[in-house]
Amino acid sequence: MSWPGYRWVAYGGAAGATAAATLVGLAMRPHFELVNIAMVYLLAVVAVALRFTRGPTIGASVLSVVAFDYFFVPPSGTFSVDDPQYLLTFAMMLGVGLVVSQLAAIVRAQAQVRARLALDAETERIRNALLSSISHDLRTPLAVICGASSSLAGRTDLSPEERRELAQDIFTQARDMSELLAKVLEMTRLESGAIALQRDWAALNEIAGSVLRRLEERLATHMMMIDLPAELPLVRVDSVLMEQVLANLLENAAKHTPPRTLIRLRAQASGQVMTVSVEDFGPGLDEGELEHVFDKFERGGGWVSGRGGMGLGLSICRAIVRLHGGAIWAERLPGGGAAFRFTLPLEPPPEMPAGDCAFVNG
């Protein structure tokens, strides 16, 4: 608890609490004994102790003693004390302030320890889920690869066509495993904070073009509709990571909707943000899924699931978009279907070179 300006806020809070206690005390004075008014000051000290650290608490104790003395202890309006009993009251007020601030500090420390333990437990839970999920998703391709390659190596009675099919199976499964591994590594790097964004000016159309080229084969089963205005402004992003976001969203849409479903990639800029959407016209998401699809290892339970695949893709998307200062969410489309949208903050456009005659409109 030592953010800049903390001292001002804390000591101001201590002074404010004492002033409030004084006002309450003045209102109480006609009807209550002075000892009870001292209790009001104690209450203020305790409140400060719970909220702030030791220094401000001692400050509040001292101020309370001074104010109590000045406003209430006879002769009021002076700092002199007729009855030495009140010296004991002062000592008690100071003492209570110190003890309470000490207790509050201990409680705060314990709360921090408990929060860290809870975080550790959560990390542990995620790690276990990750391990079981990965081993599950690796088992099938590994079984195929072992089976197919041992057939190729050991059997002599296979027709050329059969050999080609087995080899093709090995290739496909190995490629999927490699993709999965890349995702796991990426998530690990994102989580550990090991990724420093390589931000540079980029055109979303270009990133999209590159993704569509990369995923051509995998998206071939679906109908793609690209709706990217030519005049979209440039964004300052890490293009490699942004390409990953688009790839994961598009792949996700293709994986969880039946073949020939329409998938639409859209983007629009307004004001300070660009909003990018991947919409599909498949079965859509359940209400409960909207919240949790971005959590790790959440598989689209209700979706038509052709290939397996853990929900690592979407949580990678969320991590990357957040790193860029944007937000990502899922929506249900009115006519059925799901929309995944994310925002990117827009910055003032960069300066362009002068002197090329055809540079008319950006």
Partner 1 sequence: MAEARGTILVVEDEPEIRRFLRSSLGAEGYKVVESPAGQRGALDAGMHKPDLVIIDLGLPDLDGVEVIRRIREWSPMPILVVSARTQERSKVEALDAGADDYVTKPFGVGELLARVRVALRHVRRNGIGEDLVLGESRINFEKRVATRAGREVHLTPIEFRLLGCLAKHLGLVVTHRQLLREVWGPSHVEHTHYLRIYMKQLREKLEADPVRPQHLVTETGIGYRLVADEP
Residues making contact with partner 1 (CB under 8 A): 171, 174-175, 178, 182, 185-186, 189, 198, 200-203, 205-210, 212-213, 226, 228, 230, 234, 238-240, 243, 350, 352-353, 356-359, 362
The answer to whether the CB of 53 falls within 8 A of the CB of 1 is: yes
In the complex with partner 1, the residue whose CB is nearer, 178 or 272, is 178
Q: Which residues pair with 344 in a beta bridge?
A: 274
In the complex with partner 1, the residue whose CB is nearer, 160 or 350, is 350
User: What secondary structure does DSSP assign to 327-346, as a single string?
Assistant: -EEEEE-TTS-EEEEEEEE-
Q: How far is the CB of 194 from partner 1 (least distance, A)?
A: 11
Residue 145: φ, ψ to 5°: -65, -45
Q: How far is the CB of 147 from partner 1 (least distance, A)?
A: 20
The answer to whether the CB of 251 falls within 8 A of the CB of 218 is: yes
Q: How far is the CB of 206 from partner 1 (least distance, A)?
A: 5
Radius of gyration of the chain (CA): 33
Residues 6+ apart with CB under 8 A from 317: 244, 245, 248, 249, 294, 328, 340, 342
Cα separation of 207 and 348, whole Å? 20
Q: How far is the CB of 350 from partner 1 (least distance, A)?
A: 5
Q: How far is the CB of 57 from partner 1 (least distance, A)?
A: 52
β-strand pairing of 223-227 with 262-270: parallel
Cα separation of 2 and 53, whole Å? 10
Q: How far is the CB of 295 from partner 1 (least distance, A)?
A: 23
Cα separation of 73 and 89, whole Å? 11
Count of CA atoms in the C-beta half-sphere (13 A) of 187: 23
Q: How far is the CB of 359 from partner 1 (least distance, A)?
A: 7
Cα separation of 46 and 241, whole Å? 51
In the complex with partner 1, the residue whose CB is nearer, 69 or 169, is 169
In the complex with partner 1, the residue whose CB is nearer, 73 or 208, is 208
Q: How far is the CB of 361 from partner 1 (least distance, A)?
A: 10
Q: What per-residue string of b and e applies to 156-195 under the rule 16 or more CB within 10 Å gives b? A: eeeeeeeeeebeebbeebeebbeebeebbebbeebeeeeb
In the complex with partner 1, the residue whose CB is nearer, 93 or 265, is 265
In the complex with partner 1, the residue whose CB is nearer, 186 or 280, is 186
In the complex with partner 1, the residue whose CB is nearer, 191 or 286, is 191
In the complex with partner 1, the residue whose CB is nearer, 43 or 203, is 203
Coil, strand, or helix at residue 60?
helix
Q: How far is the CB of 353 from partner 1 (least distance, A)?
A: 6
In the complex with partner 1, the residue whose CB is nearer, 191 or 289, is 191
Beta strands in 165-303 (DSSP E): 200-202, 223-227, 235-237, 262-270, 273-280
Q: How far is the CB of 267 from partner 1 (least distance, A)?
A: 11
In the complex with partner 1, the residue whose CB is nearer, 153 or 230, is 230
The CA-atom distances, in angstroms, between 35 and each of 38, 89, 92, 98, 283 are 5, 8, 12, 20, 71
